[in-house]
Chain A
Amino acid sequence: DVKVTQSSRYLVKRTGEKVFLECVQDMDHENMFWYRQDPGLGLRLIYFSYDVKMKEKGDIPEGYSVSREKKERFSLILESASTNQTSMYLCASSPAFQGGSYEQYFGPGTRLTVT
């Protein structure tokens, strides 16, 4: 079974703090993704990585950065947390898309509250 784990299920941070969300997958997948999910807005892609040290901006990258130093680990960084970043954050992984169409496997999510 593919397993995607996220470092925290619930997190409460203060405005201005630097926040690290970590994601680990155990299936040797090339692709990893960070989404945020808000009521009425659905899943929105923040960043995508298709290989170690490679990253691409998604639809809403402002205020976020990412790091992928190892294939299995993809970190999302909120440089200076703000209240509008309160959300559910979901990590996902999938095999490389080139040559096929592959489903994504999601982690359990991190509910981040910024006060």
Chain B
Amino acid sequence: EDQVTQSPEALRLQEGESSSLNCSYTVSGLRGLFWYRQDPGKGPEFLFTLYSAGEEKEKERLKATLTKKESFLHITAPKPEDSATYLCAVQAISGGSYIPTFGRGTSLIVHP
């Protein structure tokens, strides 16, 4: 069974204090790993797709990396507006189903 585990569940940072969120996965045949941002009371917003180990993608203060077992979302010098829940999802080729499996998310709060 495909599994996605995100850690930590919650993270509090001071503005400017860089850190990383982790998404570890066990799937058979990764097709893609996705990162989303979700603000309170809203739907998730797509951030990145990573396809193979060694791949990296960046957007403003966010950088996503991928290995064969996990992905990291690095946040450099975060600002209060980066506060949100970050969700990871993996899409695998297993049993013919391509439906993504989501982790439970990391709730990030950045204090000014």
B79 at the interface (CB under 8 A from A): no
Number of A-B contacts (CB under 8 A): 53
- 5 A-B pairs within 8 Å (CB atoms) are namely A42-B105, A101-B32, A101-B51, A104-B89, A108-B42
Count of A residues near B, CB < 8 Å? 24
- B80-94 with Cβ < 8 A to chain A: 87, 89, 91
Task: Return chain B residues, CB-CB under 8 Å to A88.
Answer: 41
- List A residues at the B interface (Cβ < 8 Å): 4, 33, 40-43, 45, 48, 58, 88, 90, 92, 97-98, 101-109, 111
Count of B residues near A, CB < 8 Å? 22
Determine whether the beta carbon of A106 is less than 8 Å from that of B45: yes
- CA of A101 to CA of B99 in the docked complex: distance in angstroms? 10
Task: Return chain B residues, CB-CB under 8 Å to A48.
Answer: 99
Determine whether the beta carbon of B91 is less than 8 Å from that of A97: yes
Task: Return chain B residues, CB-CB under 8 Å to A108.
Answer: 42-43
